Amino acid sequence: DGGITQSPKYLFRKEGQNVTLSCEQNLNHDAMYWYRQDPGQGLRLIYYSQIVNDFQKGDIAEGYSVSREKKESFPLTVTSAQKNPTAFYLCASSMDVPPSGYEQYFGPGTRLTVT
Amino acid sequence: DAKTTQPPSMDCAEGRAANLPCNHSTISGNEYVYWYRQIHSQGPQYIIHGLKNNETNEMASLIITEDRKSSTLILPHATLRDTAVYYCIVANFGNEKLTFGTGTRLTIIP
């Protein structure tokens, strides 16, 4: 049963603490992505990775860090430098190989609340 | 720098066809039109994409105008489970940076 898993679904942290969000996929996809969504807004790209050991900044990378040591895993760390970390975080992956198209498959998301 | 324009909300009666419009007047020749939807508090779900020809799959149909400046997503027989926010996205094929705007909130009315 292939898919993308994110854990936990809800996460609470105190201000000033770093927190790592998990994202795992068993779809054998090369590309993985992290998005952030604020209430009533669309998704904004934080980081993406096309291949193991390589990743690029998205539109709002400041205050975040990622790693891609394995094809299946793309964890996101929300650091204390992120000014407004409370948000809904979505991980996605894609095969990124023509001509299948550019379908991104999304996980269920992690809702992070920092107080 | 929005590439697409969508109405913020729409209603559709259950069982009827839902037609969701999208304007993308600045689309370039190598850019595709993608549609995703997001049911409340879940991750977005891919629906369909196209370049210039009309496309149909098990979920929906995509009608792209001849000048490619607008498109319409059609859900042929809307059900209550189709209530969601629908995103129209324009992107180069293989471009990792999909830009999700605020989309259209579609409500299916019983």
Check residue A97 and give its pLDDT.
54
- Residues of chain B numbered 54-83 and touching chain A (CB < 8 Å): none
User: CA A81, CA A110: separation in Å to the nearest integer?
Assistant: 19
Percentage of chain A beyond pLDDT 70 is 92
Using the predicted structure, report yes or no on whether residue B94 has a pLDDT greater than 70.
no
Using the predicted structure, report yes or no on whether residue A45 has a pLDDT greater than 60.
yes
Question: Alpha-carbon Rg of chain B, whole angstroms?
Answer: 13
Kindly state whether B87 is in contact with chain A, defined as any CB-CB distance less than 8 angstroms.
yes
pLDDT in tens, B19-61: 999 999 999 888 889 999 999 889 999 999 999 989 999 999 9
Going by their DSSP bridges, the two strands A10-13 and B61-64 should be labelled as unpaired
Using the predicted structure, report yes or no on whether residue B93 has a pLDDT greater than 70.
no
Q: What is the DSSP letter of A103?
A: P
Q: Tell me if A42 and B98 make a contact (CB, 8 A cut-off).
A: no
Q: What is the distance in angstroms between the CA of the first residue and the CA of the last residue of chain B?
A: 37
Burial A73-100 (b: 16+ CB within 10 A, else e): ebbbebeeebeebbbbbbbbbbbbeeee
Using the predicted structure, report yes or no on whether residue A2 has a pLDDT greater than 70.
no
Q: Tell me if B43 and A59 make a contact (CB, 8 A cut-off).
A: no
Using the predicted structure, report yes or no on whether residue A101 has a pLDDT greater than 90.
no
pLDDT in tens, A61-85: 999 999 999 999 999 999 988 989 9
Residue A40: list chain B partners with CB under 8 A.
Answer: 102
Choice between A34 and A100, residue whose per-residue pLDDT is larger: A34
Q: Tell me if B42 and A108 make a contact (CB, 8 A cut-off).
A: yes
